Structure 1
């Protein structure tokens, strides 16, 4: 993935827009990565993949609940609570 400084991205914004049509571009500020700029097509594809993964996980969770393979939330929270000793 190509990398640009934030200053370069700002001063050459038109070039950045052309570059992201080919592949995402990482933007660094103070030597650290802070953002990735991508084409709208890549963004939409990423969002579609995320939605499909969420649907898959929801279907799996639904099957687990239907098959009784779950632990009630109250039991989970109770097991996580810290029992403080009485003074």
Structure 2
């Protein structure tokens, strides 16, 4: 994955866009990754995978409920870390 600093991305936006059409490009600020720029096609594929995963999870949940395998909220969310739970609330 190619990398641009935020300053480079601002000054060389055309090149950034050109590269992002071929593969995702990381954008850093103060030496830390802050964003990724990618083609619309790549983004659409990722979003489709997220929806597919959500549907599969929901289908499994319905099947479990139909078998009487019910869980309370604490059991469901206990594998998540505090950071993951905080992000889910955002």
TM range (shorter): 0.7 to 0.9
User: What secondary structure does 2:69 align onto?
Assistant: coil
Structure 1, unaligned stretches of length 5 or more? Answer: 78-87
Between the two proteins, the alignment pairs up a number of residues equal to 76
TM norm structure 2: 0.79
Quote the offset at 1:16 in angstroms.
Answer: 0.6
Give the Cα separation in 2 of the matches to 1:14 and 1:25. Answer: 13
Structure 2, unaligned stretches of length 5 or more? Answer: 76-90
- Please state which structure has a larger fraction of its residues in helix: 2
1:60-71 residue pairs with structure 2 within 5 A? Answer: 60-71=60-71
Q: Is 1:38 aligned to residue 49 of structure 2? A: no
Aligned twin of 1:50? 50
RMSD across aligned positions (CA): 1.7
User: What secondary structure does 1:20 align onto?
Assistant: helix
Extract structure 1 runs of 4+ deviating beyond 4 A. none
User: What secondary structure does 2:21 align onto?
Assistant: coil
Quote the offset at 1:69 in angstroms.
Answer: 0.6
1:76-87 residue pairs with structure 2 within 5 A? Answer: 76=74
TM norm structure 1: 0.81
Rg (Cα) greater in structure = 1
